[in-house]
Amino acid sequence: MTQTTAATPPAVSTPPTARRRRPRRRGNAARTYLILMALAVLFAGPFVWLVLAALKTKAEWVTIPANILPEDPQWGNFTQALTEINFLAYLGNSAFLSFVFATLVTLSSAAVGFAFARLRGRGKRPLFVLVLSTMMLPQILTLIPTYVLFARVGLVNTYWPWVMWGLAASPFLVFLFRQFFAAIPASLEEAAIIDGCGYGRIFVQIFLPLSRPVLLTSFVLSFTWTWGDWIAPALFLDPDQTTLSVAIASLYVDPHGNPDATVQAAAATLYVVPVLVIFLFAQRYFIRGVVSSGLKG
């Protein structure tokens, strides 16, 4: 357990009293682990309970007192989840919308971030303040009137709104790109300008290739936004055109109209798995995205 002694303050500058503290710190570490594990159970519990519910028979799900573990894991719930509704079609809609939105919003936000980081223009400062302020604006505030407006011009029940939201750039991602681009040394583009390079080529050939990690962060974040979004597809899309999130929330009912808990749990499991997988592989990109917005002040 050498790690515990190395915690704040580093050994070099530790005052003599620190030696006396060592045994106590070890006890602290054990206590910290106990707290952490108890909390981990609380945070991971809902996932575990979901998967367990997905593996139970309907009868087993309603027995009181409940079995914690399913007696005979019902893998058939998953096949039923896939076949009871047109799961794959909704999955396709979700994947398509998420991909289109994430690609467009990443490129447009990169361009806008480049403008705010690297270019000079009249009114740039107030415009940037406006970008920062719109970050504070809850999405629902503009979403509802957008729906009312789009319903009148026939844009409802098409995928065009997602294309437009993608092209419009996200203030949050603009900020992410702007911070990254602003930290790149100016000498790079100066050399390119002397060589007769315009800003278009500087952006595409120098800045975009350099920003691969931020591009990935942006893509991962915006993909999961759309994948997890419920309210926009619920408002804008008809039931047959909608995404997996809307379908899962409302379509799993038995012939009597009651929610079919175990099959819905299986469907929800299938629906979160891509998010979990992306998260496991791209954890640091998620965290970078969240942190950069929260620390901006």
Strand partners, 253: 259
| 47 interacts with other proteins by CB under 8 A | yes
Residues 128 and 174: their CA atoms lie apart, in Å, by 10
Shortest Cβ 75–other proteins spacing (Å): 19
Q: Cβ closer to other proteins: 122 or 212?
A: 122
| Token couple for 171 | 């203030």
Nearest distance from residue 294's CB to other proteins, in Å? 3
88 vs 168 by CB, closer to other proteins: 168
Segment 194 to 223, residues that bind other proteins, using CB under 8 A? 198-200, 203
Residue 276 binds other proteins (CB under 8 A): yes
Residue 191 binding other proteins, by CB under 8 A: no
Nearer to other proteins, 209 or 297 (CB): 297
Among 20, 43, 196, 209, binds other proteins (CB under 8 A): 43
When the beta carbons of 84 and 229 are compared against other proteins, the nearer one is 229
Of 8, 20, 126, 194, the one binding other proteins (CB under 8 A) is 8
Q: At what angle do helices 212-228 and 261-281 cross, to 10 degrees?
A: 170
Q: Dihedrals φ, ψ of 123, to 5°? A: 75, 15
Residues numbered 87 to 146 that lie near other proteins (CB under 8 A) are 108-109, 111-112, 114-122, 124-125, 127-134, 136-138, 140-142, 144-146
253 binds other proteins (CB under 8 A): yes
**78, 90, 101, 165: residue in contact with other proteins (rule CB under 8 A):** 165
Contact characters 13-42, other proteins, x per CB under 8 A: x-x-------------x--xx-xx--xx--
